[in-house]
Amino acid sequence: MTQEWWGVIIAFAGAFGYALGAAIQQLDAVRLGANRQLMKQPRWWIGGAISFTGACLHAVALSMAPLTIIQPISMTTLVYAVPLAAKLHGRRPRKAELLGSAAVSVGLAGLMLMIPIHDADTPVLGDGLALWFLAAVLVTVVASQLIGRRVSGPVKALVFAIGAGVATGTVSTFVRLVGAGMQTDLGNLIHWFTLVVPTMLIVATILLQKSYAVGYFGIAYAAAQVADPVASVLAGAGLLGEPLPTDPMLIAPALACAALLIAGTIVLGRNAPDHAKTEQPAELDEAATDEQVRTAA
């Protein structure tokens, strides 16, 4: 088996791991809400560890096979995440969920494949431009938080997830900058850019758990998966000089992929939310039984 095939296998394993970890974490987020109690839940930490392992496997796969092969595979994570989440909630995945997930995955993968591969020099970003970029990200994140607190239902999950996706896209941008700088000089690790990575990861985690807690896991996970690459691609084009598609022949396929993505997101948003199952205390059960006996008498 060639190295490329091993890369494909590892990429699928990474996508599944990332999806499984997210499905596990949302189970506790729905049950407890997005608060500090999550930090005390071993299962929530296990979910995070599984997602992190999936992300690491994705990085390994990228070193073994071309980006044009691995990146679309990573988009299949939504197809795994939705049925896994349904299973953890003790139900079968709805047909609309599966169709919506597939539509979002195919649409997003199609759009990502249209982005030209850029073999540029080491990316460089000045401090001033980086601060302006972070200011724009901060405005987006704060807006996500404020709007998310004022809306409800699938819109609430969508808004929080977009903020989380923008934050993780920012992480990807700064990881690339720091990683590229370290290739020439390890001393470049000692830079304020490095602090942006864990800070934005924390922001993304908080917003993502807020999105999961609403109960609309499909639309929450889909929105985050879409906002992440969109934010990183726009940052790469606007800040690092990376190219965007310019071929007019790609306009129609791009519109078709975007329409498929939007339609899938709408379908996911129309599904009923998952809620935590609560057990009634034994004393209340006994009281209810006594009341029923007295009523019958």
Residue 285 has pLDDT above 50, yes or no: no
pLDDT (average), residues 74-91 = 84
Calpha distance 36→272 (Å, rounded) = 26
Confidence band of 280 (pLDDT split at 50, 70, 90): very low
Mean pLDDT of 67-90: 80
Range 193-215 average pLDDT: 90
Residue 282 is predicted with a pLDDT of 39
| Stated pTM of the model | 0.81
- Across residues 85-110, what is the average pLDDT? 86
251, two tokens: 């306009």
Structural contact between residues 21 and 55, judged by C-beta atoms closer than 8 angstroms: no
pLDDT of amino acid 278: 39
Task: State in Å, rounded, how far the first CA of the chain is from the last one.
Answer: 76
Q: What percent of the chain has pLDDT over 70?
A: 85
Hey, what amino acid is at 87?
K
Structure tokens of 247? 């071929």
What is residue 157's predicted lDDT score, i.e. its pLDDT? 92
| 30-44, 57-71, 128-142: least confidently modelled range | 57-71
pLDDT of residue 269: 73
Tens-digit pLDDT profile for residues 248-277: 888 888 889 889 888 888 888 777 666 655
Q: Given pLDDT bands bounded at 50, 70 and 90, which one contains residue 121?
A: low
Average pLDDT on 177-201 reads 78
The answer to whether 82 and 98 have CB atoms below 8 angstroms apart is yes
If one counts every other C-beta atom within 10 angstroms of the C-beta of residue 135, the result is 10
As a whole number, mean pLDDT of residues 94-108 equals: 87
Phi-psi region of 277 (alpha: psi -120 to 50; beta: other; left: phi over 0): beta
Q: Residue 73: is its pLDDT beyond 50?
A: yes
pLDDT recorded at residue 37: 86
Domains in the chain: boundaries: 118-244
pLDDT grade for 47, boundaries at 50, 70 and 90: very high
